[in-house]
Amino acid sequence: MVVAQKSKVSAAWRFLSDYEDSYRDGKPEEGLLFKANEAIDLALQNESTSKQVKTHAYKLRICYHLYQAKLRIEQKNLEATVQDKQERMLTAYGNVELADFEAASAQVEQIKNLDPKYFELLQQAIVKGNSTMDGDDIKLATAIQQMKLETSNIATGKYKAKKYEDAASYFYKAGVLNTLLSGIKDSASFFNAGIAAGKTKNKAIILDYNKRIIDAGVANASNYESIYSALLEKGDTAEALNTLKKGRVLFPDNLSLLTVETNNLINAGRGLEAISALVEAFSKNSSNGFLALFIGNLYDNTANPKDKTGKELAKPTNFDDLFKNAESYYIKATELNGDNKEYLYNALYDLGAMYNNYGGYLSMKKVATGTDGMKAQKENEAKASEYFKRAIPYLEKALTIKPEDASTMKALRLLYLKTGEQAKANEMNEKIKQLK
């Protein structure tokens, strides 16, 4: 029986070699591959030959050739409809059936487990390009090297075809294979696996791949945020918050996780605690214009609370301090966000809007009747006019960034009217008409 099984391995090698010769001659005979695969599968069923490295090496090469044959057919079928060669290749990767490639991939780990020293020689041949190997060993190393590249191509093709679950699987496999062969963790492929998993919108898949990436030791903040969001959608709030906490410990300076944590604190009625955490973060990264804008927004919203319907509520007792802090961080945001026009626009607009709103609040503020009341009313109106005038230059700068923004135009038109600049109000009114 042992002799019979060894003959199966020999038969598989012979059919495989004959196929490779026919392929080199430009006339590949796929029938030889089927015979080779049939023989090697029989050898893999026997305990003695299934433990031999060469049995798995032949299985890998045979299945990889079978996969390549199917890929060539896919490319040929696309020639009439997809003219661009690169586009045709990616589309073929997205369409090709992958059972044979999967079978080939499974042999890599088997070979490593059966003979780690031999696998190290394969790694050297693949990574360094220098080796004492020859013959079938070199053919095996070459096949694994090609599969390493193909795994990423398949992932990209599946992603392009919007087969996101397959894309996630193959980006992850690319990460595992590249890490296995080079000894260096392929964080880029693992990162792409997380992105593709997120595209599936399937909570189980999102959780699975992001946890795998964490276990692989290549996680970034986005993996923790993805798990947090998926758990929250599942209704597992406790575990979601626990995941967020772990992410914040590992990535304390990540703004996205910090934003999520901040929103949670605000929703829990702990807005000042949230601001305090952000101010501390800004003290460590005082060049971050987005963070300055975020803090300005929080101080602004805390100073000018509203109910769920948007109705303004009474100003807090520490309004003056909150207002000054909001103003300070908004100004910092305008100074730090010069290159990011979107954030710069928001900082300019929000600061101008805050001044405008406070001016409106002062002008409408009720005062006691009588002589003292009239005096207080005049003081409020004068102060309101001061804030209206403060708002104008910031909104004008915001308009230079988004010159057709209707909301900025309307706010400026009203401010021009309030401050007696009728000519500018008329000019702005004409610009608004042109938008329609």
Q: What angle do CA 121, 125, 130 make, to 5 degrees?
A: 110
For the chain, which residues score pLDDT lower than 70? 1-5, 129-132, 367-371, 373, 436
312: which strand partners? 306
Residue 3 lies in a domain: yes
**Does residue 151 sit in the same domain as residue 5?**
yes
Last residue of a domain, one of 160, 185, 202: 160
396: which strand partners? none
Residue 8 lies in a domain: yes
**Does residue 290 sit in the same domain as residue 436?**
yes
Residue 78 lies in a domain: yes
CA distance 184 to 223: 20
Side chain identity at residue 294, one-letter code: F
Residue 278 lies in a domain: no
Residue 251 lies in a domain: no
Last residue of a domain, one of 107, 139, 160: 160
Domain count, the chain: 2
Alpha carbon distances (Å) from 166 to 219, 287, 325, 406? 20, 41, 50, 44
Determine the pLDDT at residue 436.
65
Tokens 């015979």 identify what position?
35
* Domain hosting residue 355, numbered range: 286-436
Residue 30: in which H helix or E strand, if any?
Answer: helix 30-44
Question: CATH code at 380?
Answer: 1.25.40.10
Whole-prediction pTM: 0.69
Residue 416 lies in a domain: yes
Last residue of a domain, one of 106, 126, 160: 160
| 385-405 pLDDT, tens digit each | 999 999 999 999 999 999 999
Q: Which DSSP symbol is given to 402?
A: S
Residue 318 lies in a domain: yes
Residue 73 lies in a domain: yes
CA distance 253 to 258: 8
Q: Copy the structure tokens of residue 138.
A: 């070199």
Span between the terminal Cα atoms of the chain, in Å = 88
Q: Copy the structure tokens of residue 191.
A: 């990162």
Side chain identity at residue 369, one-letter code: T
Give yes or no for a contact between 342 and 315, defined as CB atoms under 8 angstroms apart. no
Determine the pLDDT at residue 131.
62
**Does residue 8 sit in the same domain as residue 153?**
yes
306: which strand partners? 312
**Does residue 154 sit in the same domain as residue 12?**
yes
